[in-house]
Structure 1
Amino acid sequence: MTAIQVYNAAGDKTGQVEIDPALFDKTVRRALLKEALIAHLASQRQGTHATKNRGMVAGGGKKPWKQKGTGRARQGSTRSPQWVGGGHAHHIDPRDYSYQLPKAQRRLAFLSSLRYRLEKGGLVAVEGLDLGEPKTKTVAGFLKKVGISDGAKHKKALIVTEGNQPGLYLSARNIPRLAVAERRNLNAGQVLLHGNVVFTRAALDALVDDVKGGDAKPAAAPAKKPAAAKKPVAKKPVAKKPADKKPADKKPAAKKGA
């Protein structure tokens, strides 16, 4: 069992929550975590890069010099790729780099990332940080008292809430290297990129219930009643068609004078 320290909004210790790391995953799946992290980083790319090919660059409609007689190489436009100011031979279009892992892999990677962060001692919980109004001073004071802000130069912090909390979000948005996310939107990439993950007590309880509920085996389906045996259908007798009668062979007529 591993203890998760619980603090109040002032940064004082109020208790502990014992959690078995095996609740999240039996082991840290590093290969899967790498896949999830790369997918998360790819989804963060803006992808608005673009260059122009020779058809997109303005100008270049006039032939620089005549085809023959100059001794120089033939040129048809000053916007060819070999010219300064010309277009790119293989230009780049804007594109979307995001992609998703299969649903089962995403969930397994998320649970494995929680075990990894739990083993590293980067999971804590807080009570009473549900701010109705923005109070940056309260959030900054909590982080300083807990000691998270001391390592902010090397480790980013993430506060996980249960549901939307605009007051807490507005309080934390002006603090460098601090992010706020809802538990339902949390993924493995966010857990891995933030060295300190702070769950609100409601979010932590909901997470544990969700993991336990997801791992529970579904109830066995009720046994189906055996289908009633079908009664044999009596086949109607098929009337036989009368055989075609062959015409009787005619006897040859007797010859006269015989």
Structure 2
Amino acid sequence: MVECAVKDWQGEVVGQTAIDLKVAREETAAGIVHRALERQLANSRQGTASTKTRAEVSGGGRKPWRQKGTGRARAGSNRSPLWRGGGVIFGPKPRDYTTKMNRKERRLALRTAFQRRAAELIVVEDFATQFARPKTKDLVEALRRWGADPTARLLLILPERSEALDNVYLSGRNVPNLKLITATNLNIFDLLAADQIVVTAAALTKIQEVYGE
């Protein structure tokens, strides 16, 4: 269990909360998180890269010149991989990069990664009511008050996508290094890529409800 301070809109500490998730053992934690990260990156690949072999390129069909007597190297087709415009040897073909990982392992890796980032975690009270209209400047100033660096890679976790939070999303999309996700869309890559993580108290509760065991 990890204790975290909760800050209000002005950046003042107004309470405490705890992160209590079932995580992997210390000796296996790095391995399971790494496998989950590799799986996410592999599954995001399209796998559509494709090249043509000598059998698929157009042309060929006739021997460019006779076998002997010309003084040139023997050639059987102008679609040879050695020729300009010829086929590609062992080039990429469409393939499926998907890798599998048990659901229990995936969730364990996610809980482990989240709790291990507790030192970089900033918990704040819900602040949707502060945005009557989209205002990027107000959000950037709030991030500074909370102790986050707006120029760093930031991850802002909100409880869910709703009309009440639309102005927050619209305010945050203009911040270059800020990524907004919901608690149910938590993923390994975003957790590990962020320098600092800002999470609302409601989102933290949602994470513990959805991923806690």
Report the TM-score when normalising by structure 1.
Answer: 0.69
Please report how far the alpha carbon of residue 45 of structure 1 lies from its aligned counterpart in structure 2 after TM superposition. 3.1
Whole-angstrom distance in 1 between the partners of 2:116 and 2:69:
73
Q: Is the Cα–Cα contact under 8 Å of residues 169 and 180 in structure 2 kept in the other structure?
A: yes
**In 2, Cα distance between equivalents of 1:129 and 1:86:** 61
CA deviation map 1:185-223 (0-9, x unaligned): 212332122231211121112223445xx53xxxxxxxx
For 1:170-209, list aligned pairs within 5 A: 170-209=170-209
1:25-45 deviation digits (Å, cap 9, x = unpaired): 264411111111111222333
The alpha-carbon deviation at position 110 of structure 1 amounts to 1.0
Cα displacement (A) at 1:99: 2.7
Distance in 1, Cα, partners of 2:115 & 2:170: 29
Cα drift, residue 123 of structure 1: 1.2
Could you say what secondary structure the match of 2:117 adopts? helix
Deviation, 1:93, is 1.9
Q: Pick the aligned partner of 2:127 from 129, 150, 153.
A: 129
Q: Which has the higher contact order (CA 8 A, sep 6+)?
A: 2
1:157 partnered with 2:154: yes
In the other structure, the counterpart of 1:76 is: 76
* Alpha-carbon distance in 2 for matches of 1:26, 1:105: 9
Cα distance, 1:144–1:98 mapped onto 2, change above 3 Å: farther
Task: Tell me by how many angstroms 1:20 deviates.
Answer: 5.5
Task: Tell me the matched-pair count.
Answer: 206
Q: Does 1:13 align with 2:38?
A: no
Secondary structure of 1:68's partner? coil
Kept in 1, the 8 Å contact 2:33–2:112? The answer is yes
State how far apart, in whole Å, the 2-side matches of 1:80 and 1:7 are: 68
After superposition, the CA RMSD in angstroms is 2.5
1:196–1:96 CA distance, 2 compared to 1 (3 A): farther
Amino acid at match of 1:13: E
Matched residue, 1:36: 36
CA distance in 1, matches of 2:171, 2:47: 30
Question: 2 CA distance for matches of 1:167 and 1:94?
Answer: 41
Letter in structure 2 aligned against 1:183: A
1:205-250 CA deviation, whole Å, 9 max, x = no partner? 2223445xx53xxxxxxxxxxxxxxxxxxxxxxxxxxxxxxxxxxx
Distance 1:95 1:189 in 2: 23
**Counterpart position of 1:51:** 51
What residue identity is the alignment partner of 1:160? Answer: I
Question: Matched residues in 2 for 1:191 and 1:65: separation?
Answer: 62
Q: Which digits, 9 at most, give the CA deviation of each residue in 1:17-66, with x for residues without a partner? A: 24255x34264411111111111222333434332222343434443212
CA distance in 2, matches of 1:91, 1:209: 47
CA distance in 2, matches of 1:74, 1:18: 78
Identify, as 1 or 2, the structure richer in helix: 2
Moved more, 200-209 or 53-62: 53-62
- 20 and 139 in structure 1: CA distance in 2 versus 1, 3 angstrom threshold: closer
Higher-Rg structure is 1
**Counterpart residue number, 1:107:** 107
Give 1:125's aligned amino acid: V
Asked if structure 2 preserves the Cα contact closer than 8 Å seen for 1:65 and 1:75, the reply is yes
Matched-pair identity in %: 36
**What residue in structure 2 maps to residue 139 of structure 1?**
139
In the alignment, the residues of structure 2 paired with residue 150 and residue 184 of structure 1 have an alpha-carbon distance, to the nearest angstrom, of: 24
Shift of 1:179: 0.7
